Amino acid sequence: MWNYMFGGNKQQKKELPKKAIVELREHIQMLNKKRSHLELQIADQDALARKYIASNKALAKNALKRKKGYETNLMKIENQIDSLETQLTAIEGANLNLETMKAMKQGALAMKQIHGEYDVDKVENTMDDIREQVELADEISEAILRPVGTGYVDEDELDEELAALQAEDQEARQEKQPQKQALEPQRQPQQAMPAFPLVAQGTPQDEDEDEEALRALQAEMGL
């Protein structure tokens, strides 16, 4: 046991904090059970003293003595529990710090190993290689898309020829414009038509009067 606590191999030292935490928790649990049992005994002796305080003072006095003894033991156990819980909290905190440091150390070693495989110069060289390969891929794509055989036509030449045709068409349109204007007949100004007097038309009232006069004339003539 002493070899385990103060010496031993590396594996035993590594497991010591965990083992101490487990043992402390178990011991605290056992003391809590004893405390609960003492509290019940104290309550029983208090009830017994109250029961015989009037009829049997000697019995009541003995019950109070036992109660005091139980209370003394209870105080000791509570002090032990407080001490063990304080120690347990300290060990758990220290063990947590230890595990955290181990994890951080492991992470640092992993980063060191990763960075050991390359540096800034290697990264720049790799990026240059990637750029060269991308440019090469673009050139290959252009070569594949370029027409093959005698049917190949230079796009620049086509654009120049198209521009020349457009210029010729524009000049031809400008030359035809004056000829078209010369061939169009000149329009003569329209002469004003003579004004004729307007014939006044009879109103409906005049027509009624004429009809009445005509009917009166026909009546006189026996028609």
CATH number of the structural domain spanning residue 94 = 1.10.287.1060
Record the tokens describing residue 129, joined without a space: 């290689």
Question: For the chain, what is the domain count?
Answer: 1
Position 142 in a domain: no
- Structural domain contains residue 88: yes
For residue 172, is it within any domain? no
Within a domain: residue 66? Answer: yes
Residue 79's pLDDT is 96
Among candidates 18, 14, 65, which has minimal Cα distance to 42?
Answer: 65
Residue 179 lies in a domain: no
Q: Is residue 138 part of a domain?
A: no
pTM above 0.75, yes or no: no
In a domain, 194, yes or no: no
Range of the domain at 33: 11-106
Residue 69 lies in a domain: yes
12 contacts: CB under 8 Å, gap ≥ 6: 4
CA distance 127 to 118: 13
Reported as a single tens digit per residue, the pLDDT across 85-116 is: 999 999 999 988 988 998 999 999 888 888 77
